[in-house]
Amino acid sequence: MVKDRTQVAIIGAGPSGLLLGHLLHRAGVETVILERHTRAYVEARIRAGVLEQGTVDLLDEIGLGGRMRREGLPHKGVNLAFDGARHRIDLFGLTGGKKVMVYGQTELTKDLGDARDASGAPIVYEAEDVSIHGADGESPFLRYKKDGEERTLACDFIAACDGGHGVGRRSMPTSVIRTFERVYPFGWLGILADVPPCADELIYARHERGFALASMRSHVRSRYYVQCAIDERLENWPDERIWDELKIRLGPEAAARMTMGPSIEKSVAPLRSFVAEPLRWGRLFLAGDAGHIVPPTGAKGLNLAVSDVRILARALTAACQKGDPSLIDRYSQDCLARVWKAVRFSWWMTQLMHKFGEGESFETRVQQAELSYLFSSRAAQQALAENYVGLPFADA
């Protein structure tokens, strides 16, 4: 059996694990990242594409914002479509100059992977059967297989950045963890196509046939979604049907500018809100989707992971470099304060823009009243804008 040691063992080479590794490397803390898939697989996953102002600032601060600045699309506003009309929320004007950046998570993961390679810090792809041991004691370690060989990685701390189905959260005893969940009765059918976007900024549309979203990844690649049944089958949605539905739900202005083309990716994603508390057990820490999941309506998932990692990097640096455990003791509290605010916003956006049930209902009337108020109130628009561009990162 091969035995290794490091200060911080990180499980998962998605953006949260790679970013944590980069921040700790910059601070002089040793890390090893274990990832069960290949690098090509990780970088090919289609995920989020809207970065908050705080995420953009952090990437600039650590020297990883160059390609994002060259290829990303800064957005100073966002559109809500309702009852045949489109209303623009002026993010820039309502927040004192803040905005969001449209830059695909796939591209960010590539940037972070390149930075890891350049640093020379170790990363193990195709690490199989990772298991966590001794997290509640003084000497935690991981076991895994690589190329059929048993290996052990001893460490001081373990960071689980391995998503909602990873080993991190599963390793926490049920007696110490509490979960909160809201499962929504619909999903999003997403389509990715190499066609120009139908608008310069995102469009969130509430329609009697269901929600729709017009997004983009670049000037020549578009990402669209329509609300669908949670058990919808992709074979029932040929490209032509999706484009026709998008034109109806997004409205005539978007339809007139829409360029149709063959899909290069199509999928159905369920929507749910999920939070685990606490995000720490002994020397094991959960970050990103390992600890919480939000519906994509508010564009918060990746940004919450960045916030967690920023807090965790500072806490682990203080513990490893100075022997100071105070920030570690606050980690869960500091993260969850921001997490729950983002969960609330994502839940609110989901409740506001989606169709619940058939026909007119109490909920339908409340949605209509809420949207009418939103479009007539600067204060309401400012609250939306502040949350959308991202609430301030917690001090750590």
CB 361 within 8 A of CB 355: no
Please state, as a whole number, how many other Cβ atoms lie within 10 Å of the Cβ of residue 234: 12
Which mean pLDDT values do the consecutive 10-residue runs of the chain (396 residues) have?
89 97 98 96 83 97 96 97 92 98 94 96 97 97 96 98 95 96 96 96 96 95 95 95 97 96 94 97 97 94 96 98 96 97 97 88 91 96 98 72
Q: How far is CA 369 from CA 82, 203, 210, 269, 387, in A?
A: 11, 20, 17, 29, 20
Determine the pLDDT at residue 395. 57
Q: Mind listing the pLDDT tens digit for each residue in 310-336?
A: 999 999 999 999 999 999 999 999 999
Task: Tell me the angle at which helices 378-389 and 326-353 cross, rounded to the nearest 10 degrees.
Answer: 130
In the sheet that 263-277 helps form, which strands lie side by side, from edge to edge? 85-89, 78-82, 203-206, 212-216, 222-228, 178-193, 263-277, 292-293
Stated pTM of the model: 0.95
Determine the pLDDT at residue 394. 67
Pick from 82, 16, 48: which is nearest to 297 by CA?
A: 48
Distance CA 107, CA 49 (A): 9
Q: 2-72+102-180+272-356 and 186-271: same fold? A: no
Distance CA 343, CA 182 (A): 10
Determine the pLDDT at residue 228. 96
CATH T-level topology, domain 186-271? D-Amino Acid Oxidase; Chain A, domain 2 (3.30.9)
- Return the residue matching tokens 């800064």: 74
Q: Mind listing the pLDDT tens digit for each residue in 124-144?
A: 999 999 999 999 999 999 999
Determine the pLDDT at residue 360. 76
How buried is 11 (Cβ within 10 angstroms: 0-12 exposed, 13-18 middle, 19+ buried)?
buried
- For residue 385, which amino acid is it? A
- Return the residue matching tokens 């063992």: 9
Determine the pLDDT at residue 396. 40
- Report the CATH number of the 2-72+102-180+272-356 domain: 3.50.50.60
What does the CA dihedral 73, 203, 245, 106 come to, rounded to 10 degrees? 30
Sorted by sequence, the CB contacts under 8 Å of residue 288 that are 6+ apart come out as 14, 15, 16, 161, 163, 301, 304, 305, 308, 309
Determine the pLDDT at residue 1. 62
SS3 call for 346: helix
Domain-wise residue ranges, the chain:
2-72+102-180+272-356, 186-271
What does the CA dihedral 54, 56, 57, 62 come to, rounded to 10 degrees? 120
Catalytic residues: 75, 204, 296, 300, 388
Distance CA 95, CA 309 (A): 25
